[in-house]
Amino acid sequence: MVMPLAGRIVAAVVGGLLVLGTMSSVTVTLIVSRPVNSRLTRLVDRMVDWAYHQVVGRVSDYQRWDRMRATQAATLLLAQLAAWLIVAYVGFALLLWPFAPRGVVSAFIDAGSSLFTLGFAVPAGSAPAVIVFVAAATGLVILTLQIAYLPTLYSAFNRRETQVALLNERAGMPSWGPELLARTHYALGTGVSTLDTMPDLYAQWENWAADVAESHTTYPVLVRFRSPGSMSSWVTALLAVLDSAALFLALSPGVAPVVPARLCLRGGFRCFHRIALAMGFDIPDEPGPDAGTSLTYAEFLDAVSRMREVGFPIERDPAEAWPDFVGWRVNYEQAAYAVAGAVYAVPALWSGPRRHKMAAIPPIRPKRGLPPK
């Protein structure tokens, strides 16, 4: 059965829309320097994430589970490229269909020959010639932009992970806010507290949060890049820094670096909030007056106990400090938990639930070393 000309013209219009949609998705994903939603790339991300969940969700060993998840970002990049090329291929084939003397099969052959610059099929006529030239240029542009996109991604990834790796030595692996304060005060058992370094650390993480917020909303695939170590995550690292600032302000307001801690809390909240919105979560700009925290008072007391083990200077009674800590944490908890669950961050303490049920992992602490001779 031969498709009537009117039907082929309608198909050509649909094909043109597919080509325009593809180029729009490529442009906003790879070129536009601000977060712009692309339905195609978001659909690809969800499909890849669903496929990984079906396969990896059956693995019970966390180390193996993390190794498998580490390939998700690379798979997503390849899937995005494949989706752009396939949709463009179908679009150009439909555009060529009204001019194809041998039907839709020859239109797909001509489109594939041009888009992938193989050049083995050349349709006759001026209009088809223009279409195949545009198809060839489109294929080259998509591949070139994707290749040029990679150095930008890995540059942002390296900046992110440098600070995360430095924090791991201070906040444990996986990172935990109370552990950060305890180890900083303990200072490797030297007997000299290094809490005076916390203002600089909070300033560094305020800058880090701004950098990550910009890069991870402009290039959303970065949120899928996992840290090199299985017990490390950029999400739990930032969450640990924010929790340490909230604890410091609540428990020891007299010695806490108030301004750097508050600025870090605000910057971290904005980072989590912007990334959560870019990932499609409905996160309020400010928590409601009745908003609480998922942490329990017993968990808060466990943190206080850990800090007291090393003689951390706690000025206030935990019962008195608890409402202030909750007041700080409600600002960033919902967004942080949404992002941590979506990227399957290592299940650190105080980092929220995961879709794949896993017990929270406390920081791995080094064994006590031998005394110097």
- pLDDT in the model for residue 1: 45
- pLDDT of residue 116 exceeding 60, the answer is yes
Q: Which residues are bridge partners to 361 per DSSP?
A: 348
CB 107 within 8 A of CB 118: no
Among 114, 115, 122, which Cα is nearest to 142's? Answer: 115
Higher pLDDT, 124 or 137: 137
Q: Please tell me the pTM assigned to this model.
A: 0.88
Q: Which residues of 199-230 are buried (b: 16+ CB within 10 A; e: fewer)?
A: bebbbbbbebbeebbbbbbbbbbbbbbbbeeb
Most confident range, picked from 9-13, 80-84, 134-138, 353-357: 80-84
Angle at 189 between CA 186 and CA 191, to 5 degrees: 75
Higher pLDDT, 358 or 186: 186
CB 311 within 8 A of CB 254: no
Give the domain ranges of the chain. Answer: 5-148, 172-342
pLDDT for residue 122 is more than 70: no
297 or 285, higher pLDDT: 297
pLDDT of residue 335: 94
pLDDT of residue 99: 81
pLDDT at 31 over 90: no
> What integer is the mean pLDDT of 51-57?
86
Predicted confidence (pLDDT) at residue 189 exceeds the cutoff of 90? no
- Percent with pLDDT over 70 in the chain: 94
pLDDT of residue 124: 65
Strands (E), 117-191: none
d(CA 179, CA 120): 64
Share of the chain above pLDDT 90, in %: 59
Higher pLDDT among residues 32 and 145, named by residue:
145
C-alpha angle 355-60-272 in degrees, rounded to nearest 5: 35
- CA quadruple 226, 230, 236, 241: dihedral sign: negative
Side chain identity at 23, as an amino acid letter?
Answer: M
Name every residue whose Cβ is closer than 8 Å to that of residue 51 and which is 6 or more positions away in sequence.
none
Residue 339 pLDDT exceeds 70: yes
Q: How confident is the model at residue 75 (pLDDT cuts 50, 70, 90)?
A: very high
Residue 370 predicted with pLDDT over 60? no
Confidence band, pLDDT 50/70/90 cuts, at residue 365: confident
Confidence of residue 320 (pLDDT cuts 50, 70, 90): very high
> Which residue bears the tokens 């305020």?
206
pLDDT band at 272 (very low <50, low <70, confident <90, very high): very high
pLDDT tier at 192, thresholds 50, 70, 90? confident
Mean pLDDT of the chain: 89
